[in-house]
Amino acid sequence: MSERPDGRKFDEMRDIEAKVGVIEQADGSAMFRIGKTIAIAGVYGPKKVVPKHLEDPEKAILKCYYDMYSFSVPERKRPGPDRRSIELSMVIKNALMPAIFLREYPKTQIEVFVSIIQADAGTRCAAISAAAMALADAGIAMKDIVSAVAVGHVNNEIVVDLNKEEEDIEGTSDIPMAYMPRMKKITLLQLDGKLPKEKLRSAIELGIKSCEKIYEIQKKALKGRYKLQGE
Ligand code: ADP
């Protein structure tokens, strides 16, 4: 049974594709596509901190840059950073940071660039999933991979991985989540909209289950290139 606009079941994500090593010049890179949302991530570093006064003698500093291309949405988006992209860059950084052994790389910086080349909702989550793979692809010591997806409340139902059409339905609430599947820790939880309190728990549970599925796809893409710790 399904009442979602694109015919998916409530707990069904869109079609997912994940790939690492997509940018030769980067130290690590990845592509993560979920439905029509596509994120490409490039990681540079660890390398010397610029400007030097930002250097931390104890650990690496993480810099994240999220960017949505002008042609990624039906109405051309004005290029360059705006309030939204600055906020999302911070949100993505905070979601990734707990997974990285930053203390392994004192006095360095690790830069993560994520470009959204096509957007159909869920871009911050696709960005996190792509960035985590790119960090692993760069060979950076990590405690875990970060997997991310949005859950939400659409037409009175808890659903996973909203597309833009669902996001735009009146009364929809959107809950982007990021999760470290091996550590069983949530690293991002936002709520845009309203949700009955008792439904929040099942929404989070669906988010965790879905992140575990994304983790398998990320792992498969990374296999062969790097052995994940403890595997
Ligand atoms: P997220 O992409 O993480 O869901 P938002 O809630 O800010 O983040 O955006 C929701 C969706 O709205 C985006 O994925 C994209 O499809 C669309 N969107 C965002 N900004 C624009 C824009 N400037 N023009 C057209 N669509 C946009």
**Domain segments of the chain as ranges:** 16-222
Find the 106 Cα to ligand 1 centroid distance in Å: 36
CB of 8 closer than 6 A to ligand 1? no
CA 52 to mean position of chain CA atoms: 29
CB of 99 closer than 6 A to ligand 1? no
> Residue 227 above 60 pLDDT?
no
Find the 123 Cα to ligand 1 centroid distance in Å: 7
> Residue 225 above 90 pLDDT?
no
> Residue 230 above 80 pLDDT?
no
> Residue 62 above 80 pLDDT?
yes
pLDDT at 3: 80
pLDDT at 135: 98
Find the 121 Cα to ligand 1 centroid distance in Å: 6
Q: Which amino acid is at 159?
A: V
- DSSP, res 71: G
State the average pLDDT for the chain.
95
Burial of 187 (0-12, 13-18, 19+ CB in 10 A): buried
Could you tell me the sign of the dihedral formed by the alpha carbons of 42, 47, 52, 53, in that order?
positive
Q: Residues 131-155: what's their mean pLDDT?
A: 97
CB of 75 closer than 6 A to ligand 1? yes
Superfamily (CATH) of domain 16-222: GHMP Kinase, N-terminal domain (3.30.230.70)
pLDDT band at 23 (very low <50, low <70, confident <90, very high): very high
> Residue 187 above 70 pLDDT?
yes
Widest Cα–Cα separation across the chain = 58
175 with 150: CB under 8 angstroms?
Answer: yes
In the chain, which residue ranges form alpha helices assigned H by DSSP? 83-96, 123-137, 164-167, 197-222
As given in the structure block, the two tokens for residue 163 are 């597309």
> Residue 1 above 70 pLDDT?
no
Which residue has the least CA distance to atom 25 on ligand 1?
73
* % of the chain at pLDDT higher than 70: 96
Residue with the two structure tokens 């997974």:
99
CB of 119 closer than 6 A to ligand 1? yes
> On the CB side of 77, how many CA atoms lie within 13 Å of its CA?
18
Q: Which of 231, 203, 200, 199 is nearest to 215 (CA)?
A: 231
What DSSP line would sit under 105-126, residue for residue?
STTEEEEEEEEEEE-SS-HHHH
CB of 201 closer than 6 A to ligand 1? no
CB of 176 closer than 6 A to ligand 1? yes
Which residue has the least CA distance to atom 7 on ligand 1?
84
> Residue 156 above 90 pLDDT?
yes
Which are the contacts of 204, defined by CB distance < 8 A and separation ≥ 6?
A: 151, 175, 177, 186, 189
